Each structure stands twice: as C-alpha cells, then as structure tokens.
Chain A
C-alpha cells in the first residue's frame, strides 16, 4: 500500500505542487442555478489565458436518511442510473464543460484522465475527470461527497490550493449577526475562504452592455494591493477598469481624489490602463452598490476581519457582497 508521505511519492507531490503554484487556478462551484452558470461564463473568459486551470466542482451532501424516511437516497440514484438518466451533479458539470471547451475540439486536443475515491462511506464517493491539452492547461470536473456543501468546498480548497473561488449568488444573504441561526453555503464559504472569491450574479435581461470592472479602494496598503490584483485579472479578460473611492464627507473629497491618482499611477507603472475614476461622498456600502449597478463586476478588498469584528464594526466588503446587484469580487 502506498501512503501519501511515502518517500517515493513525496517528490511527485512536490512536483505537482510546484506546477500548481505557477498556474492561476480557479475553483468554480456549481449547483445548477443560473447564477452559477454566470460564474462559469466568467471562468471561461479567464480560461482563454494559457496559465489558467479551471476546476468545476459539484458537492453532493451525504445521505441523511432520516429526511427520506430511512430509505437512502442512494437507492433512488441507483434507480435513476438504471433508467439511463443522469444524476443532477453530472448534468450540471457536463453543461459547464460544454461552456468551457468546444465539444468538437474535445476529442482532438484534450487528453482525459479520470479518478475515483470512496469518501464518507458513500460508494459513489469523489469522482474526478481531468481534461488536459498540450500546453498543460487543464479543466477538471469534480463531483465530491461531503456532509454539507460548504465544508466540501473548503475541503477542496485544501487539496488545491486555488487562487480564486467562483460561486453563484444565493437567493438571500443573511446579516452577519443573524448568521448564528445558520448561514447559506455561499456566505459560509465567503467567510472562511482563504483565497479571493467571486460571487457571480446574472445581469438582468437586455443589460449586456456594461462597463467592466469597478475597483474600489480606500487607500490602505492592503486595498491597493488587492486593486492591483484585480486590475491584472480585468486586463486578462479584456475588461475596462474604473477606479472608485468613497469620501466620508465633502471635506475629504480631495483626499479621495488623491488616493485614486496614486492608484492610477501604480497601475500605469504596471502597464494597466484605467478608463475612468469616480469619487462619491457618503456611506461606502451604499455608494459602491449604487455605482456598481452599471458594471459587470465590483471588486472590493477583504479587510480580514473576524466574525466578531464583522458583527460589531461591520465589514464593507461583506456588506457589498450581500447587497450588490452585480457580481462582486472579494480580493483576499
């Protein structure tokens, strides 16, 4: 039996980790909702870059049994498979793959490798299909079993690591103090995620001509760094960039303008062109949400506050994620 830390295996793992560190790895979590497919569309834009790997993940909760009256849902799934029907997770992953790779080129340019492991005592367990092309770029479909989706997604991160997690926006977002009564999957992952996270939202119909990324900054070193990261992403996708800063009062408006000037300069040094800059006066959350309405993605910088601080002081990035009407990228 080969153990993970067998000396013969270690260099192999090290090699894989080294390879992964040099790639931009995106974990897209899907649940079959329209918002999740919107996330895949964004991932597809990133995937045009050769250094990007995309991992599509569907997490199936393990059988609780009690809810289905003591009859395991696995019996139902088996029955569906016997009828030649596809299980929901596989259906979603297949549709996602079609959005990422042209079905015609799939057979010619990509090699396929699949893997299976039992987990949580469930025979269906974890399944993985990896599509790799000549340049080493890979698209992975992963069907994972976990006690609940949020922990499955965070477990998957541990196997990664990943640079970006993309998730579809939930139907409702609980206030931080209210999450004691139970928060949704997306909110949980957003709170615990060690890497940047994009909450994808569907544009209302007929509003396809939006203005690219709205990158928010407050002038702190941390937020400037986040801004640079997102600016690079936006440039890879070919999206125009608008910088945004909120001044708390009219008296500090000049200060905010100076911050944006400095930010523009930083990006110019990196060779990134800024299309526009905006300064608004008022509450940061409401001004960002309102201005962001016309953009594809609002980018905010995660302040790294823990749960207690988020409850007591509030976190702009978290509030924007919940309240915005378009996609929000929370850069860690």
Chain B
C-alpha cells in the first residue's frame, strides 16, 4: 500500500503542472499505468487464464460466419459445447459453475424460456445419478466391507495372485450393480489393511500395494459398464437413445428403449471376460514382493471376529440391496431407474440405516447439477442440428481414411472416446460425445445402439490417468500409488479392453441385434 500512495502523490504533484510536453504526458500515462497495475491482481488472471481463453474462443466462434449446413442456433450450441469442454478439461473455475453457465447461456443466447430450460434439467437419468449417489453413501456406511473381505479370503486362500483375482471378481460383481465409486470406497480399506498387515514399510510392499489396489480400481472400472446402474454414463446413454430415436407412434423405434436386461445382455459378458485379464496384466506388470499373505490374512480374521455376528441392521441393508437390484432389473422399464434408486435411498433413510447428514455431506450435489446441465446441452445439440453437422464433418474426415463404416468407424469412435475420457470424468465425456456419435451412426447408416454402446463402454477405458474414472481417483487417495503407475499398467489395460470390445461388437452384438 505504501507504494500505491506514493504513486498517487506523485500523480497529484504532476497533474497541476503548467505547459505541455510529450515527456510529461508519457510520464503521466506511465504513472497511471502503475496505479492501475497496483489495483489489479494479475495473479488472479494468470490462475484463471483458461477461463478467459475459453470465453475468448467463444466470442471468436460466435463472430465467425455460420458455416454452411449449420443453423445460427446450432452455431451457438456448438460454441457453448466447445467452451464447456475447454472448461471441463482445464478446470479454471469450480465445475458446477460450468453447469450454471450452460443454463444461463441457453436462456440468454438461445432465447429459450427459462421454464423450458429448467424442465430439461431433470430427467430420469439425472434422478438416477442423484439416487445412486445417495445409495452409495448409504451402502458404504453399512460397514459390510470387513465381512466381504473375509468372505473373499476364505474362498481364495492366502496366495497373493488368488486374493487379487478374488478382490477383482467381488469388487467387479458388486460395482456392476451399485456403481464403481461405492465399491472402491468400500474395498479400499480392505486393500490397505492387507498391505499394512504384511509390512509397515511402504517401500517393501510397493508392488504388492499396486497389484492389490489396482485389482480394486480396475475391477470396479471394467464392471461399471456391466449394467445400466453401474455408472452415470450408462444412464445418460440410455436417456439419449430414448430422446434421439424413440417415437411412441412408430413401433419400429421401440428397440431404442434399452431396458436393464437388454443392456446386461450386451455388456455383461464383456465385463466377465475382462476380469481374468485384469489380474494377469497386473501380476505381469508389477510382480508383487510377497506370493503369500498368510500373516495379513490371519490378522484380518481376528479383526472380523471382533465385529461379532451379523446384526439385524446388516441383514436389513442386504435385503434392501437385493430389493433395489430386483427393482432395477424388473421394474425400471415401467417406473424408471431413477425412481428405483431414490426409493432405495428413501428406504435406507426411513430404516435409520444412514443419517441424512451423512448423505448430505457425502454426495457432491454439484455433480448432479453438472450432469443435468450437460445432458440438457446435449439435447439442444440434437434439436438445433449442431450434432448432425459435426457428425457429417467428422465422417467426411474419416472417409479418406476408410474409417467411415464398420470396424474402422467403431475403432475411430472408441479411440476418440478413450482420449476424451482420459481428460475429463467419464460421465461428462459421454454427455458431451453422446449426441455427436449417435448422429454419426444415423448419418453413416450404422446401428445407433452399437455405436452408443461403443461410446459408453469406451468411456470406462480411462485407465491412464488418476482422474479418468472415480475408482482410480478414490484408490489414488490412499497415497500408495504414483501417477506413473497408472501409465505403466494403463496402456496395456486400454489395448486389451479395446480389442475385447471390438470383438464383441463384430461377433456378439450382431447376434443380439437379430434377437431384440
């Protein structure tokens, strides 16, 4: 502040001068610049630089002439999507703020009445995301993790490789129904307990830690695609199919109403096929220091015995869990997956198995808002024709490469999704890419169902970075893994997964298409 007042004083001294000279004018403007500089926090601008870059990009795009084949509204929606994507990836502002900007943008730039925008925010997919997050907190709070851990080691024995496979299988089976973040949160302490009971020195068990923790995170990640309730992205894709292709008056379009069992028929075998591959890749990459964990397992048994027998509350939560699964499988096509999820959350709250305060602090509500806004923008991309325009141009680029149909197109879409999902959360990746790839499918004459599955499934291939999938982020919070570990094993996983998916897309799914 001392400097500021000094500069101000000197300005005052010079302002009442007599006569005119270039030198004095220069000096005065320099001094004014100094005053302005001291008022502005330049570090703020540097920190938020990507926000300004995104906004400048938006203004630039809107000032350009509208390309041929694109409506002015389409151009605005396209601009909003590009700006939102830059903000999603670079995160200069809190992410829910992007959602708020999307809502405001739709009202101000597209002149859509705010009631209609507000209505487009809440769909069954969003309700499902909200409900399943509440369920996630409720399930984690039930403390069934120790019993699950004990069940695993009782079946697998004490050999490291078998325990890893057991952890992957159980994490995967659970995660395929209740979401990967829930299971990763539950199983993480199991993994860490096995590691710390084996050795206190983290250096001695580095590889063992990597194998056990990646078994949890990749087990959950590959499972997230298994059923519609496995992750937000699945619910979003189901919502898009219905929004884009379903027409109540045309029976031909009924196949675009994908229910729980149909999704499972497509994706579950892929998940099961990936499970053993996860363990093989992990053991091959990290080679754990201990081949037998008998010491740790003995101590774990003691801990579980101290828990005592199952309490009525434990049984009740298992009953609720089974009822919710039953509801998803058999009732979701009538009442919606979201309704089942929030009914389940309500049951846990009514039975007093979880407190609302825990649910409230355990769920990041901004995420619900963000998905809601992203889906609503996706629908606008379809309505204004922006998605179709991008799809046509995307295909025009792929045509010279021979990737405008069949396996080539599938591989291109899978690669595009894998790249995008490694940079942002997988739900956001599907919300942004979904409208485009579905339009690509219609323009190229491909099945939107197959292309939709390829996008939703490829969005789970974010094995390379910590932020790619929720399970990776949660496991990374343990402090045992380095970011380079993800790179070391991730590329192998990504290649294996893409190959399995392309095989399923070309051999298995066509059979299903003829059945459904």
Cα A82 to Cα B146 with chains together (Å): 11
Q: Which residues of B contact A69 (CB under 8 A)?
A: 133, 179-181, 231-232, 367, 425, 427, 469-470, 473
| Chain B 128-162 residues near chain A, CB threshold 8 A | 129, 133, 136-137, 140, 143, 145-146
| Chain A 71-119 residues near chain B, CB threshold 8 A | 71-77, 79-80, 82-83, 85, 87-89, 91-92
Contact at A70–B188, with CB atoms within 8 Å? no
A-facing mask of B184-223, CB < 8 A → 1, else 0? 1110110011001000000000000000000000000000
Interface of B is mostly: helix
Judge whether B510 is part of the interface by a CB distance below 8 angstroms: no
Cα A65 to Cα B366 with chains together (Å): 8
Q: A83-B193, A85-B196, A180-B49 are in contact. Are A70 and B186 (CB under 8 A)?
A: no
Q: Quote the shortest CB–CB distance from A181 to chain B (angstroms).
A: 9
Q: Which residues of B contact A74 (CB under 8 A)?
A: 361-362
Cα A91 to Cα B49 with chains together (Å): 35
Q: Quote the shortest CB–CB distance from B497 to chain A (angstroms).
A: 19
Contact at A70–B185, with CB atoms within 8 Å? no
| Chain A 239-285 residues near chain B, CB threshold 8 A | none
Judge whether B502 is part of the interface by a CB distance below 8 angstroms: no
| Chain B 220-241 residues near chain A, CB threshold 8 A | 231-232
Judge whether B478 is part of the interface by a CB distance below 8 angstroms: yes
| Chain B 1-57 residues near chain A, CB threshold 8 A | 43, 46, 49
Cα A83 to Cα B363 with chains together (Å): 21
Judge whether B253 is part of the interface by a CB distance below 8 angstroms: no
Interface residues on chain B, number (Cβ under 8 Å): 50
Judge whether B182 is part of the interface by a CB distance below 8 angstroms: yes
Which chain B residue shows the least CB distance to A150? B47
Q: A66-B367, A85-B193 are in contact. Are A71 and B182 (CB under 8 A)?
A: yes
Which chain B residue shows the least CB distance to A91? B479
Contact at A79–B186, with CB atoms within 8 Å? yes
Judge whether A22 is part of the interface by a CB distance below 8 angstroms: no
Contact at A66–B366, with CB atoms within 8 Å? yes
Contact at B425–A88, with CB atoms within 8 Å? no
Q: A66-B367, A70-B232 are in contact. Are A80 and B474 (CB under 8 A)?
A: no
Q: Which residues of B contact A307 (CB under 8 A)?
A: 46
Contact at B189–A70, with CB atoms within 8 Å? no
Q: Quote the shortest CB–CB distance from A55 to chain B (angstroms).
A: 21
Which chain B residue shows the least CB distance to A33? B482
Q: Which residues of B contact A87 (CB under 8 A)?
A: 479
Judge whether B117 is part of the interface by a CB distance below 8 angstroms: no
| Chain A 160-175 residues near chain B, CB threshold 8 A | 171
| Chain B 161-177 residues near chain A, CB threshold 8 A | none
Q: Contact check: which of A32, A66, A88 meets B364 at CB < 8 Å?
A: A66
The residue among B49, B189, B484 with the most chain A CB atoms within 10 A of its own CB is: B189
Contact at B362–A66, with CB atoms within 8 Å? no
Q: Which residues of A contact B91 (CB under 8 A)?
A: 64
Q: Which residues of A contact B95 (CB under 8 A)?
A: 64, 66
Q: Quote the shortest CB–CB distance from A309 to chain B (angstroms).
A: 14
| Chain B 45-99 residues near chain A, CB threshold 8 A | 46, 49, 90-91, 95
Q: Which residues of A contact B193 (CB under 8 A)?
A: 83, 85
Q: Which residues of A contact B361 (CB under 8 A)?
A: 72, 74, 123
Judge whether B116 is part of the interface by a CB distance below 8 angstroms: no
Cα A68 to Cα B426 with chains together (Å): 10
Contact at B133–A75, with CB atoms within 8 Å? no
Q: Contact check: which of B189, B467, B473 meets A83 at CB < 8 Å?
A: B189
Q: A64-B95, A85-B196, A88-B479 are in contact. Are A73 and B473 (CB under 8 A)?
A: yes
Q: A69-B179, A80-B192, A91-B479 are in contact. Are A75 and B367 (CB under 8 A)?
A: no
Which chain A residue shows the least CB distance to B231? A69
Which chain B residue shows the least CB distance to A147? B94
A-facing mask of B364-404, CB < 8 A → 1, else 0? 10111010000000000000000000000000000000000
Q: A66-B364, A79-B140 are in contact. Are A71 and B470 (CB under 8 A)?
A: yes
Judge whether A5 is part of the interface by a CB distance below 8 angstroms: no
Judge whether A4 is part of the interface by a CB distance below 8 angstroms: no
Which chain A residue shows the least CB distance to B190? A83
Contact at A85–B192, with CB atoms within 8 Å? yes
Q: Which residues of A contact B182 (CB under 8 A)?
A: 71
Beyond the given pairs A73-B477, A192-B43, 16 more chain A to chain B contacts, judged by CB atoms under 8 angstroms and listed by A's residue number, are A66-B364, A66-B370, A67-B467, A67-B473, A69-B469, A70-B363, A73-B473, A75-B185, A75-B362, A76-B140, A76-B477, A77-B477, A80-B189, A80-B192, A82-B189, A88-B480
Closest 4 CB pairs of A and B: A88-B479, A65-B364, A69-B470, A70-B367
